[in-house]
Amino acid sequence: MECFKEFPRSIGILTTLAGIVYLMAGMALTVSIGAWFAGGFAVLYILVHYFHYPRHACANCYYYGRHCISLKGKSAARIFRRGRESGFHSGMKLAMKGVYLVWIYPFVVLIGALARGRPIYFTDLLLSAILIVLMVMRQLMRRSLGCRVCIMRDECPNVGPDPRRTVKIDSGAPVGPGA
């Protein structure tokens, strides 16, 4: 299987759209509890996805300055100084902690509101289900569209090495981290 030196924009656009739908569903769920919670979710989402994640994962990635599955490689190069690819594993672990925080925020707010006596509505259940489906969809999209052809897969704490995957030789030199 050949690895992408640069991901097609269509894959990045698809994952970005899923992220935007997640943001909208999370805001719809939290705004029903309070505008401050929705605003907090939007700020957290933007900080994590456009500053925290690129700073820790993208700056240390092979795709720094290139199109990647998240379309953040090029924007990270404009904002952050290039790191070392050897720091990708630890950087990605730290970056994913922020993503997990974004994932649980709407649920924590909802559980807090329910604990304070707010009744549960059908829309709460529906939006919660949509958020869960989008989280699962994001992981499936990344693994099927991105991780299997990503040069950094062997260094990634989210996926790890795949013994079935081989890197094709391109022009006599293998394409891999640091290439």
Residue spans per domain, the chain? 9-174
Tell me if residue 173 falls in helix, strand or coil.
strand
Confirm if 47 and 93 have CB atoms less than 8 A apart.
Answer: no
Quote the CA–CA distance of 81 and 98 in Å, as a whole number: 20
In the DSSP assignment, the letter for residue 119 is P
pLDDT in tens, 17-29: 888 999 999 999 9
Is residue 127 exposed (0-12), middle (13-18) or buried (19+ Cβ within 10 Å)? Answer: buried
pLDDT tens for residues 43-83? 999 999 999 999 999 999 999 999 888 888 888 999 999 99
Task: Tell me the C-alpha distance between 133 and 137, whole Å.
Answer: 6
Share of the chain above pLDDT 70, in %: 88
Higher pLDDT, 165 or 76: 76
The residue count for the chain: 179
Torsion 66-67-73-76 (CA) sign = positive
